Amino acid sequence: MADNKYSLVNLTDPQRETAKAVYERLKSTRDTYTKRAEDCAAMTIPSLFPKESDSESTDYMVPNQSLGARGVNNLSSKLLLALLPPNSPFFRLSISDRVLAELSQQENGDKIKQEIDQALLQIEQRIIKYIESRQIRVTIKEALNQLIVAGNCLLFLPPKEGGAKLYRLSSYVLQRDALGEVIQIVAADNLSFATLPDNLKTLVASDGNTPAPETPCIVYTHIYRDSDTTYKSYQELNGTVIQGSEQTYPKDKTPWIALRLIKVDGESYGRSFVEEYLGDLENYDAHSEALRNFAAITSHIIFLVNPAGITQPRLLSKAKSGDYVPGRPEDVQAIQLNKLNDLSVTKAYLDGLEQRLSYVFMLNSAVQRNAERVTAEEIRYVAGELEDTLGGTYSILSQELQLPLVRRLMAQLETSGEIPTLPDGAVNPTITTGLEALGRGQDLNKLIMFKDFIAQIPEASSMIKLDSLVLMVATALGLDTTGLIKTPQEIEEERQQAMAMQMAQAAIPNATKGVMDAANNSQQ
């Protein structure tokens, strides 16, 4: 066994605990949470969290109402809008205090800082384009659905392939320390024998018998903390470590992101939003079923005919609209339940449940328009509503989803050469959440307020560096100023050209006068 205090695995030890054994050992703790997730999914969207025994052909039980499904989809859409706002980054890349201190000692430090800010803005925009082009937003939407219903999910950002993969709670186990930091994760991928690479098929068919193509083969990926700053991982099939699968990642740039919605101290897994309101959802579902059954009964119309009367049922059943049939009205009567008063109590209780659930799932909010482009104020309002509705748990996602996502994507793009490699500790990504969800838009508002203040003091306008102000406004607006703003050299060249033109224009009258004088002298 390795010497450091974090080491959980020694791959050279033949007596080591296999990844499958770790999975089975931690599975008993996880099963309590999966059972809750199944109950929550049954009241909302059953296919979001099927049982382990379910398959693609499983016919899921349909809930008696659609309020739960509408609530989950609505809440996840609002979360996605606030976490990944369209047309603007959800984070800022800022220069670290150490680098700022070094720049302050340089002669052109302010100018260099503005140029660095512009370069960081371009990196931000490249990361956002990468998220959209690799459909990471789609996977994040699925992850938010899982968090709302199950409370947990696992994201994997493949270093080479790009994109993102989602694991349900039923497909992985994990263990956290007392501070909530991940100690180890074991993810299970259920693959068919036909989809395995040739070098892995030999591990399954080691006894000489080739399994059927559809034979399930589980590949376990074990991720564990190896030191204060690194995580390691390897893959295993049939108890054998797959050669070449060993990886080492910096702690803050691991491609495995374990998510939870509601943090509970001392527990490795989180709780879901639906779980907190499961009682109301179950009551609403039961009373919706009762109301539906009552409606079915009342729609079944049966008439009673007095056997001693003169009205004949046979003639009534054959009569067409407008026909005349001999009989007396008192001979025929429809069966009535006379349960309207009892039904009104059920309906009032059902309406109260619907009102409460609509509030917690934010179904009553009509601030955000259903449009491709939404205003900054709408995003700000939605973010504030999420903070109020989720009781602050929304902010957890900024630390456990957004920040690791940004750091991992930066590492991937640096490795592929799509963005320049940044020195360690020189740049800090900052997530802008809650009422600050608009990031650089807040800086723009401050600049506008500053400009209005300066306008009231004419003497102060001479103190403002106009070029710096223009760059700061462009950065706040998220504009790439490449080719847009003149460089100091271009400004100097234009100034010299203007001076030359002025000198030339000033020389024209003198030259004209000299020509006229010469002409007059020649005539004399």
Task: Spell 22-57 as b/e; 16+ CB within 10 A means b.
Answer: bbeebeeebeebbebbbbbbbbbbbebbbbeeeeee
Query: What is the structure's pLDDT at 508?
Result: 66
Where residue 99 falls (left for φ over 0; alpha for ψ -120 to 50; beta otherwise) is: alpha
CA 495 to chain centre: 50
Does residue 326 belong to any structural domain of this protein? yes
Does residue 520 belong to any structural domain of this protein? no
Query: What is the structure's pLDDT at 220?
Result: 97
Number of helices and strands in the chain (H, E): 16, 13
For residue 339, what are the domain limits? 278-366
- In sign, the C-alpha dihedral spanning 438, 442, 447, 448 is positive
Beta strands in 209-255 (DSSP E): 216-225, 230-237, 240-241, 247-250
- Report, as ranges of residue numbers, the positions in the chain whose pLDDT lies below 70: 1-7, 87, 206-208, 364-384, 387-388, 391-392, 433-443, 475-484, 507-524
Query: What is the structure's pLDDT at 336?
Result: 82
Residue 225 pairs in a beta bridge with 231
Does residue 318 belong to any structural domain of this protein? yes
Burial class (CB in 10 A: 0-12, 13-18, 19+), 443: middle
Does residue 346 belong to any structural domain of this protein? yes
Query: What is the structure's pLDDT at 334?
Result: 86
Does residue 192 belong to any structural domain of this protein? no
Among 19, 35, 29, residue whose Cα is nearest residue 185 = 19
Does residue 204 belong to any structural domain of this protein? no
Query: What is the structure's pLDDT at 439?
Result: 47
Does residue 355 belong to any structural domain of this protein? yes
Beta strands in 101-169 (DSSP E): 152-156, 165-167
Query: What is the structure's pLDDT at 373?
Result: 54
What does the H/E/C string look like for 65-90? CCHHHHHHHHHHHHHHHHHCCCCCCC
Burial class (CB in 10 A: 0-12, 13-18, 19+), 19: buried
Among 266, 76, 244, 68, residue whose Cα is nearest residue 160 = 244
Query: What is the structure's pLDDT at 276?
Result: 94
Cα of first residue to Cα of last residue in the chain, in angstroms, is 115
Which residues are within 8 A (CB) of 36 and not within 5 positions of it... i.e. 6 or more apart?
Answer: 150, 151, 271, 272, 275
Query: What is the structure's pLDDT at 175?
Result: 96
d(CA 387, CA 403): 18
Among 43, 74, 66, residue whose Cα is nearest residue 278 = 43
Domain count, the chain: 1
Query: What is the structure's pLDDT at 367?
Result: 45
Query: Would you list the DSSP string of 337-348?
Result: ---HHHHHHHHH
Does residue 341 belong to any structural domain of this protein? yes
Query: What is the structure's pLDDT at 313?
Result: 87
